[in-house]
Amino acid sequence: MIEVRFHGRGGQGAVTSAELMALAAIGEGKYAQAFPSFGPERRGAPLQAFLRISDQPIRLREKIYEPDVVLVLDPALLASGGVKVGLKPGGTLVANSSKDIAAVRGECGFKGRTAVVDATKIAEEELGVPITNTTMLGALLKAAGLIQMESIKGPLEERFGKIAEKNWKALKRAYAETKIEE
């Protein structure tokens, strides 16, 4: 089982991202669950979403405390250092940042496998808005695999309708532009 914890802010689409990945995994015949961690959050407040993907039925129904992968949609959350908490040894940090990998590692104090892409820039250029959720899915797919890229296309089309093609283009571009260092 692979467990992913998403860090974002209300309105950035972290919950949507987790749900899209779960739907794509289920479409491949895997088991998956995606869910948010909500309290009194409001638009712009930090939040977490969770994703599990497995070849076996998933019996857990709790937050992910020790993820295999952490995905950070908002670069401002890196400085808190909280994004790396519980990340398994050998785990992967996937970050939206215009900075290089060394700078991202220094900012959040993480020394392990790191993937970085400027998802905000890609989203602004491809979608016309700085909403990075689907863009970061491209980075997640490159860094962690999880599913076949084509599997996400159906859930994107169902969720976004007319603008699905723009989201697909942003996702593929982020996949191509993501840099990874062990």
Mean pLDDT of residues grouped by 10 in the chain (182 residues)? 94 92 97 84 79 96 95 93 90 97 93 96 95 96 95 96 96 98 90
For residue 47, what are the β-bridge partners? Answer: 8
Rounded to 5 degrees, φ, ψ at 70 are -120, 130
Residue 102: domain span: 2-181
Q: What angle do CA 123, 129, 132 make, to 5 degrees?
A: 45
DSSP tag of 89: T
We report the CATH number of the domain holding residue 72 as 3.40.920.10
Global pTM value: 0.93
CA 176 to chain centroid, in Å, comes to 15
Beta strands in the chain (DSSP E): 2-9, 31-37, 46-54, 69-72, 92-96, 113-117, 179-181
What is the identity of the amino acid at 167?
N
First-last CA distance in the chain: 21
Count of domains observed in the chain: 1
Long-range contacts of 62-67 (CB under 8 A, 24+ apart): 63/37, 64/3, 64/4, 64/5, 66/3, 67/3, 67/4, 67/5, 67/91
pLDDT (0 to 100) of residue 38: 67
Neighbours of 8 (CB within 10 A): 27
pLDDT (0 to 100) of residue 81: 74
